[in-house]
Structure 1
């Protein structure tokens, strides 16, 4: 039997490339014709070694050769199994046996039996299992569609909310309002979008009732205490605009119970208690607390509330302190005609009619028309 290339080189089929190369070099030296005086036997061995290394020394050729060896081994195993299962009485070697005759248990069918019959068609019927699988498939499609829609709505809502925040921060309130409208279209219960939308409804659209609805919807969502307090403050502002000062006062108080550092709620509640509920003592306490919190936070002073505190001090008969608040307001905004008018009223209360008339005339000159009747009464 002829040897394969691995046997010629004396290496295993799993030998590494380096081992094959070393075996080749060793055998080339051993079988070189010049070393044996041109003996034809060694020349044939030399050629066999060279051919084996040409095949096994190249990775691609070796892979092809290995596959061929595997196929040959498989064919040999198949022939061996057929030889083992050959009938005992088969004595003709090298010639395939004819196939055995079919075993017949009855005579062949006659012409009457050999005819075609129409197979009746049966209508397919759904059983309970089929209906269950169909319903599950439909339910899966519906759930998949709902999941895709929810995902797309969430992505659209987030994108519109981010655009709305950028427009809000840049002062482009109409664009911010439009983006927030789109956000709430895709996600109606988004609390941050409801808060911003409510602020724009009140300040831009002048629709306190719609703003109140937004803030109430925002309150139904779980939020941190400070954010809830801020929403209650804005809800109180809406109630004030709608002429419900008692309800507004309740919202301001609730907000301050949640966040005692909310200076805006103190100032708004103080203003409402003075102008709407006619309680200057409580109003003075709230206004003083709110303004003090603003100073401690190094925030800009809201001079309009300093002016309102002057009104509360005037109502309590503390005229000197009221005059200080009015003059501080004038120092910040010298062209505020309303503050001139309030100083005129304060001067009239203290009996200084000359100063009162001068403040009234200055107020009219600055465009505060409410001071005109008082100024005309000085003539």
Structure 2
């Protein structure tokens, strides 16, 4: 049965036709409690109202049935409106209270205008004008598109760079140094300031290309980026080695000192600085302190002794005139490496400095026999 416009289920529940489902449910619960027959001694009037509330909620509480009901309400309202308009616009001959209405007066109009009386005017085309607001919106749109494109590019560059870096590390670990170098160069193409890639590339510049100048530039660029103290100390140590090869002893000493200030356990930096101070800067006292500290650190860490630096410490003792300690250092090296021609040559020089020319010549001959050609010039002066 189609409901009438004057009374409908929304009115029964006391809610608006636009009420939400939660509001309909709340109204239903309140009315059920109010009109329940048990509260009114079985009064028929409340029973009818209770049933009407239940029927109304059964329709409005279901979304599908409610939509159908709303459509029927709209149709009923439309028919009622049409009926009202028909009653307001009755024909002129219709009887009102049994008295015929007078006929309507004829509508006086003139004949239609001819073509000559009609004037057609062309509507001028208006040029579109951009307001300040339009320009602002356009600029903001272009700016947003540009920022979005940049964000996408940066993200894709970062992803590509990370992938190339991982491939480079794997190639580095497998000993494929040329492939690793290529991957790392690709990484820096997409992320020019990526410190880990700069560091590895600098190491390969020394291992593959033997180019300390390029390695130095890469290490310096990597040090501009934030990183841990240990990584920075290691790179400063390697930077100092590059500067030593380039003949920049003062810069090398400064780099080693910075590395030690960041990581006091970096024995390699102490040894390298001691070597530079002795051989390049002629500072045997400071060199001896660095060499002794570095060698002691290696001994405490139970790592193999770098015998080349023990020889250099012997040179420091010799430069300071502490010949017995220098000789002891050289013999320590000979115990570990008895066929080291350079150690025999150093013992020969030490013997010559202390006036034992016979022993010096014997050590020179041993050095030559072991293949140390630098001893030939000294041996030629022997009888």
TM-score, normalized by the shorter chain, greater than 0.5: yes
Q: How does 1:85-164 map to 2 (within 5 A)?
A: 86-88=86-88, 107=110, 109-111=112-114, 112-114=116-118, 116-164=120-168
Partner of 1:369: 373
Once the two structures are superposed, what CA deviation does each residue of 1:163-222 show, in whole Å capped at 9, x if it has no partner?
A: 222333333332222222222222222222222222332343232222222222223223
Q: Does 1:215 align with 2:219?
A: yes
Q: How does 1:335-346 map to 2 (within 5 A)?
A: 335-346=339-350
Following superposition, the deviation at residue 305 of structure 1 comes to: 1.1
Partner of 1:328: 332
Following superposition, the deviation at residue 244 of structure 1 comes to: 2.1
Q: How does 1:12-51 map to 2 (within 5 A)?
A: none
Aligned mates of 1:270, 1:221 — CA distance in 2: 28
Once the two structures are superposed, what CA deviation does each residue of 1:36-74 show, in whole Å capped at 9, x if it has no partner?
A: xxxxxxxxxxxxxxxxxxxxxxxxxx9999987775565
Aligned mates of 2:343, 2:108 — CA distance in 1: 127
**Matched residue SS, 2:142:** helix
Once the two structures are superposed, what CA deviation does each residue of 1:330-379 show, in whole Å capped at 9, x if it has no partner?
A: 34444432222223323444455454334323322332211122334335
Partner of 2:236: 232
CA gap of 1:328–1:161, structure 2 versus 1, over 3 A, is: farther
Aligned mates of 1:110, 1:104 — CA distance in 2: 17
CA gap of 1:323–1:255, structure 2 versus 1, over 3 A, is: same
Following superposition, the deviation at residue 161 of structure 1 comes to: 2.0
Following superposition, the deviation at residue 237 of structure 1 comes to: 2.0
Following superposition, the deviation at residue 312 of structure 1 comes to: 1.2
Following superposition, the deviation at residue 159 of structure 1 comes to: 1.7
Aligned mates of 1:319, 1:252 — CA distance in 2: 28
Partner of 1:187: 191
Q: TM-score, normalised by structure 1?
A: 0.70
Q: TM-score, normalised by structure 2?
A: 0.69
Following superposition, the deviation at residue 283 of structure 1 comes to: 0.8
In structure 2, runs of 5+ residues without a counterpart are 3-61, 95-103
| Among candidates 297, 301, 306, match of residue 305 of structure 2 | 301
Q: Does 1:252 align with 2:277?
A: no
CA gap of 1:189–1:84, structure 2 versus 1, over 3 A, is: same
Following superposition, the deviation at residue 308 of structure 1 comes to: 0.9
Deviates more, 1:344-353 or 1:255-264: 344-353
| Among candidates 255, 258, 269, match of residue 265 of structure 1 | 269
Deviates more, 1:224-233 or 1:175-184: 224-233
In structure 1, runs of 5+ residues without a counterpart are 3-61, 93-100
Q: How many residues align?
A: 313
CA gap of 1:173–1:329, structure 2 versus 1, over 3 A, is: farther
Aligned mates of 2:192, 2:347 — CA distance in 1: 50
CA RMSD between the two structures? 3.5
Once the two structures are superposed, what CA deviation does each residue of 1:228-270 show, in whole Å capped at 9, x if it has no partner?
A: 3333322322222222212222222233223222211111110
Following superposition, the deviation at residue 156 of structure 1 comes to: 1.9
CA gap of 1:321–1:114, structure 2 versus 1, over 3 A, is: same
